[in-house]
Structure 1
Amino acid sequence: MTVMVEDAPPELSPNARRRAKARSDRTTVYLLLFPALVPVVVLSVYPLLRGIYLGFTDARAGRNVDTSFTGIDNYRELVGDDLFWRAFQIGLIWALTVTILQFLLALGLALLLDQPLRFRGFGRVMALVPWAMPPVIVGIMWRLVYHPDAGLLNEVLHRLGADGLRHNWLGDFGTALPAVIIVGIWAGMPQTTIVLLAGLQGVQRELHEAAAVDGASAWQRFRGVTLPALMPVIVAITTLDFIWNFNSFGLVYVLTAGGPGGRTMLPMLFAYEEAFRYGNYGYAAALGNVMVLIIVAFLAVYLRRRLREANA
């Protein structure tokens, strides 16, 4: 009796095996990424796309409200909206002032914490305290500090005999924005300090020693050695700080809610008011789209600079 034996499958070539293994690895990677991508798509990508779409509609608050596509009508209205341009101007003043002063004060603090001082570790921990506090808590705390009757600031002025300087800091047209800027600097300085401190620790000590041997003063060593070495870190953190500050909402909302008289009305607060106070969802979405474009422009400038430095 003859026994039929099936032919063995042909052995794959090395290139075919590598291609098969690469396909298997890609499939595994996609399967592992899928659970993480689902919440990103549901909670980030879809709301972003939905917001972009709403910016081209006349969507309003309410149930069973008809929504129609209006093209660029919202953006035409935005261009002629003096309140928006006022909020945009205040947002630029806020973001630039807070970012610049944050950087200068954080740089000084980072230089101090980089020195071999006693309790340096404790100082570094305490520098992180404002960063660890939620913006709402920071806003409530500083509202108590600025309170016109029982606030800490006015109480200190009273005890110093300077009752003439006591003021309603958050309720006056002339002092509301500066008072909020001070809070923004205090709340945002820790992360800038830590980033700059990390950059300082990456500067080679040998360069400072060589400059000192050549007779360079402390200021000359800072300007000629420390500052150039820190420049990539400075560009990165100031760009990110500006974007974060321009997007500020929670801190200013708790402190002043945009008042008095719109003197602290940042662009994000203006969009919030249009959406949840007046129910103009379509117009508010258009405002949000404009803010996204502005932020993307700043990110593009930053990334272009970083790529240019990487290729240099």
Structure 2
Amino acid sequence: MSAPIVTARRGGLARTRRNEAIALAIPTVLPILILSVVPLFVGVATAFTDSRLARNHDTQFVGLQNFVDLASDTQFWQSFGIGMIWSVTVTALQLVGGLCLALLLNTDMKFRGITRVLALIPWAMPPVVVAVMWQMIYSPTNGPLNWLIGSLGGPAHINWLGDFSLALPAVILVGVWVGMPQNTVVLLAGLQNVPGELLEAAAVDGASAWQRFFHVTLPALRPVIFSITSLSFIWNFNSFGIVYVMTEGGPGGRTMLPMLFTYLEAFKSRNTGSAAAMGDVIVIFLVAILTVALWRQLRSDRSES
């Protein structure tokens, strides 16, 4: 068989495989384009207009005016600070709690399979159901938490979600409880991929359990920890449903997260142009955070290699 014929057949086979790959990718890419990419560009464009949720409103291009007004909006930046406290605290506690639970589930404990299933229950529950359930737990009149504290001799009528100093810690606890299972699952998968030979060699050399954890297990989990921490931070910063149902941002804006503030600006104040500008600022902030984190991770990997 001559070389041109072989080359032509190989080229035809390559085109066929490429067309098959494109056909298989379309069902995945098309919903992303329609439901994510297009709304993103629409949101960016809306931020440069005076768009409002009102009948017969003549939308005008206003340039950077929404961003100029946003720069002096103290309530938005206060919500941004609350969002940072919420995101950092919840992400850190989810990581610590998820790692502890993953280490426990990685042992040869009794009923390990059932325990693993039970650990996933908070993750499987809808956010609205979780919020209503915790509202009942935090109820100042007949909530089980206050009943337990009262039975132990403490104050029995604490208004967890209405107190200025307790509302944010209360919703942070709920955020940790909801998000910890996903950290547990990812970290448990990472623990099962830690080379057993390294742990056995460290044990033979006389390393204690803590030394094996800090010098073998934790370094092996570093890529997993980086990935789940980055994703958790983004998810937590964009949190909306649980806090909205539990407190609606109160009391006095103490739990007003940035996404909740943006939602209220769009659908309560009906200023969709201003809300779109807030959304753009949040996206830019999260992209910048993720870019810096990825750059530091790549630099660390290169220095080790």
* Band of TM-score, shorter chain: over 0.9
Deviation at 1:77, TM superposition (A): 0.8
- Identify which range, 35-44 or 114-123, moves more after superposition: 35-44
What does residue 63 of structure 1 align with?
A: 55
Distance 1:23 1:216, change over 3 A: closer
CA distance in 2, matches of 1:267, 1:120: 39
- Of 73, 86, 94 in structure 1, the residue corresponding to residue 86 of structure 2 is 94
Q: Are the counterparts in 2 of residues 55 and 284 from structure 1 also a CA contact under 8 Å?
A: yes
Q: Are the counterparts in 2 of residues 248 and 268 from structure 1 also a CA contact under 8 Å?
A: yes
CA distance in 2, matches of 1:142, 1:55: 36
Unmatched segments (≥5 aa) in structure 2: none
What does residue 248 of structure 2 align with?
A: 257
Asked if 1:283 is matched to 2:274, the reply is: yes
- Of 7, 14, 17 in structure 2, the residue corresponding to residue 22 of structure 1 is 14
Which residue identity is paired with 1:224? H
Deviation at 1:137, TM superposition (A): 0.8
Deviation at 1:22, TM superposition (A): 2.7
Deviations 1:106-154 (A, max 9, x none): 1111111111111111111111110011111110100000011111111
What does residue 204 of structure 2 align with?
A: 213
Q: Are the counterparts in 2 of residues 157 and 166 from structure 1 also a CA contact under 8 Å?
A: no
- Identify which range, 293-302 or 278-287, moves more after superposition: 293-302
Unmatched segments (≥5 aa) in structure 1: 1-10
Alignment of 1:129-208 (within 5 A): 129-162=121-154, 164=155, 166-208=157-199
Computing the radius of gyration from Cα coordinates, the structure with the larger value is 1
Deviation at 1:270, TM superposition (A): 0.5
Asked if 1:241 is matched to 2:220, the reply is: no
Q: Are the counterparts in 2 of residues 243 and 298 from structure 1 also a CA contact under 8 Å?
A: no
Distance 1:229 1:45, change over 3 A: same
Deviation at 1:307, TM superposition (A): 4.5
Q: Are the counterparts in 1 of residues 147 and 156 from structure 2 also a CA contact under 8 Å?
A: no
Partner secondary structure for residue 105 of structure 1: helix
* Runs ≥4 residues deviating over 4 A: 305-311
Aligned residues: 302
What's the TM-score once normalised by structure 1's chain length? 0.91
What does residue 36 of structure 2 align with?
A: 44
CA distance in 2, matches of 1:15, 1:213: 58
What's the TM-score once normalised by structure 2's chain length? 0.93
What does residue 113 of structure 2 align with?
A: 121
Distance 1:22 1:268, change over 3 A: same
- Identify which range, 302-311 or 168-177, moves more after superposition: 302-311
CA distance in 1, matches of 2:121, 2:293: 29
Partner secondary structure for residue 14 of structure 1: helix
Which residue identity is paired with 2:63? G
Which residue identity is paired with 1:150? N
Deviations 1:59-95 (A, max 9, x none): 0111221011111111111111100110000000000
- Aligned alpha-carbon RMSD (Å): 1.9
Q: Are the counterparts in 1 of residues 44 and 276 from structure 2 also a CA contact under 8 Å?
A: yes
Q: Percent same amino acid at aligned positions?
A: 57
Which residue identity is paired with 1:109? L
Distance 1:39 1:107, change over 3 A: closer
Partner secondary structure for residue 13 of structure 1: helix
CA distance in 2, matches of 1:36, 1:179: 39
Which residue identity is paired with 1:139? A
Q: Are the counterparts in 2 of residues 236 and 302 from structure 1 also a CA contact under 8 Å?
A: no
